[in-house]
């Protein structure tokens, strides 16, 4: 019988499942539970380890150590952890830990597929806490994939200003950003946020795009420090 075999099954494993995310438990008890669940490796145990990322304990150094241990406890099981991690990604209020885990057990293309599937379930209406959507779209500013432009373009009309800002950034980061040229132009003309308008104009400058077809209307929306040339080129003061 192995070191952790005595904890598997029955009430033994349940004790550790209940304890791993309990901030009132003693530090050494949670640590033991993380190790037991990591060694168990069952779907039930992996899902319990993921719960550890939803709570914070004091001191912060202990919190970080335990979460790192839970992280390694999950990723060591590779593809067997995918379904629990995908479920956790969808239900979690934050993106950081599930995304970090996915990047350890999936290729970049597979991670992008997973994130795009999650984004497809999100809407552009008002929501009290859009941070997860913000983080998700912002992550595409560091990834390139031919599917991103189409998936992100609708968020140029999101109710949240920060979502719109990162949606523009994610599009401009893509090699095929030209596909959203018209959508970005319309977004600029209808945008109230100076920050978002500046982000779009900076993208036009970087790409060498023009606003020639809407020059008169666009001139009225120019933030301080920006202007439009005779041929519709966007200019920015040094």
Number of H helices, E strands in the chain: 13, 2
Give the start-to-end residue ranges of the domains of the chain.
1-106, 120-238
The reported pLDDT for the residue numbered 2 is 43
Higher per-residue confidence, 11 vs 147? 147
Cα angle 225-219-159, degrees, rounded to a multiple of 5: 85
177-198 in b/e form (b: 16+ CB < 10 A) is beebeebbbebbeebeeeebbb
The reported pLDDT for the residue numbered 7 is 41
Length of the chain in residues, anyone? 238
Confidence of residue 212 (pLDDT cuts 50, 70, 90): confident
Tell whether the model's pLDDT for residue 178 goes beyond 70: yes
Phi-psi region of 9 (alpha: psi -120 to 50; beta: other; left: phi over 0): left
The answer, as to whether pTM is greater than 0.75, is yes
Give residue-wise pLDDT tens across range 42-78: 999 999 999 999 999 999 999 999 999 999 999 999 9
Percentage above 90 pLDDT, the chain: 92
Task: Calculate the average pLDDT of the chain.
Answer: 94
CB-CB contact of 16 with 33 (8 Å):
yes
User: What is the 8-class DSSP label of residue 118?
Assistant: H
Residues 6 or more apart in contact with residue 8 via CB below 8 angstroms: 40
User: What is the 8-class DSSP label of residue 9?
Assistant: S
């Amino acid at each position: 019988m192995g070191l952790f075999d005595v904890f598997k099954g029955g009430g033994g494993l349940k004790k550790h499942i209940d304890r791993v995310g309990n901030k009132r438990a003693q530090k050494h008890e949670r640590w033991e539970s993380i190790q037991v669940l990591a060694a168990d490796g069952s779907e039930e145990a992996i899902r319990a380890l993921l719960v550890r990322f939803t709570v914070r304990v004091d001191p912060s150094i202990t919190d970080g150590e335990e979460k790192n241990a839970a992280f390694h406890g999950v990723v060591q099981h590779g593809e067997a952890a995918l379904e629990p991690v995908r479920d956790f990604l969808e239900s979690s209020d934050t993106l950081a830990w599930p995304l970090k885990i996915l990047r350890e057990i999936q290729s970049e293309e597979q991670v992008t597929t997973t994130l795009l599937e999650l984004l497809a379930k999100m809407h552009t209406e008002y929501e009290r806490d859009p941070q997860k959507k913000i983080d998700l779209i912002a992550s595409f500013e560091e990834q390139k994939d031919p599917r991103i432009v189409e998936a992100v373009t609708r968020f140029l009309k999101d109710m949240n200003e920060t979502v719109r800002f990162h949606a523009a950034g994610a599009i401009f980061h893509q090699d095929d950003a030209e596909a959203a040229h018209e959508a970005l132009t319309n977004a600029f003309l209808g945008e109230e946020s100076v920050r978002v308008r500046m982000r779009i104009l900076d993208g036009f400058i970087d790409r060498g795009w023009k606003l020639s077809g809407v020059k008169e209307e666009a001139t009225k929306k120019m933030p301080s420090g920006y202007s439009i040339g005779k041929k519709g080129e966007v200019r920015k003061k040094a």
